Structure 1
Amino acid sequence: MDRVVLAGMLSDQTTACEAARTALLNGGDFVVWDGGVPSRQLAGIYAARLRRARKRGTETLALPSTVDILTRLEAAQVRIGCIFSPDRTWAFMLFLADDVNSVLACTGVRQAER
């Protein structure tokens, strides 16, 4: 996937999209993996991640709204991608339509210091 095309797909799906787009356009690493995953499965996984993030006090962007979007998609297949900020302080998970023509949701998680 082309960096500029992906950046163009990040609009206002969630409040994390602007930060993800900025990270991408500033040279952050990114990947979109092959194959789809059922949105219902992803909704469960990311709901658990939301609970853990809240428990641990991990800073996130748009994680609750991303879980809501994934839950509403029901059985649709979703492609997954990731953008890292250039300084690797943030990871933005992308959820794209199975045909990879649109971003459905985006969430960001501040990365723990190593």
Structure 2
Amino acid sequence: MNRADLAEMLNQQTTACEPAKAALLGGGDFVIWDGIVPGQQLASIYAARHRRARKRGTKTLALSATVDILTQHSTAPLRIGCIFTPDRTWAFMLFLTEDARVILACTGVRKTD
């Protein structure tokens, strides 16, 4: 997948899509990993990450909405991707359909020093 195709898929799935798209178009690194993960497993993992982020005060974007979307797609096999801001202060996790043609959700997490 190329940068332009990925940018085109980042719409308004969550509020993290716009800053993820800006990071991508601003030259940030990105990857879409091979393999699939069950939606139910991702929903559980990201629900736990959401709890930890709130407890630690880690800044996130659309993590709660992403957990909701992953829960709605719990029976689907999903593909994962990531976009980093050029300065690597933010990582945006992408959750795509198995064929990687549609982004279902996007969340951002600010890296801590």
Range of TM-score over shorter length: over 0.9
Please give the alpha-carbon distance, in whole angstroms, between the structure 2 residues aligned to 1:95 and 1:38. 11
Structure 2's unaligned 5+ residue stretches are none
Q: What residue in structure 1 maps to residue 33 of structure 2?
A: 33
For normalisation by structure 1, the TM-score amounts to 0.98
Q: What residue in structure 1 maps to residue 78 of structure 2?
A: 78
Please give the alpha-carbon distance, in whole angstroms, between the structure 1 residues aligned to 2:37 and 2:28. 24
Q: What residue in structure 2 maps to residue 61 of structure 1?
A: 61
Q: What residue in structure 2 maps to residue 88 of structure 1?
A: 88
For residues 59-95 of structure 1, the C-alpha deviation after alignment (integer angstroms, 9 at most, x for no partner) is 0000000000000112100000000000101000000
Q: What residue in structure 2 maps to residue 104 of structure 1?
A: 104
Please give the alpha-carbon distance, in whole angstroms, between the structure 2 residues aligned to 1:66 and 1:74. 12
Please give the alpha-carbon distance, in whole angstroms, between the structure 2 residues aligned to 1:32 and 1:49. 20
Structure 1's unaligned 5+ residue stretches are none
Please give the alpha-carbon distance, in whole angstroms, between the structure 1 residues aligned to 2:89 and 2:35. 27
SS in 2 for 1:40: helix
CA RMSD of aligned residues (A): 0.4
Please give the alpha-carbon distance, in whole angstroms, between the structure 1 residues aligned to 2:30 and 2:73. 24
Please give the alpha-carbon distance, in whole angstroms, between the structure 1 residues aligned to 2:69 and 2:98. 15
Following superposition, which runs of at least 4 residues in structure 1 exceed 2 angstroms of deviation? none
Q: What residue in structure 2 maps to residue 14 of structure 1?
A: 14
Please give the alpha-carbon distance, in whole angstroms, between the structure 2 residues aligned to 1:54 and 1:26. 29
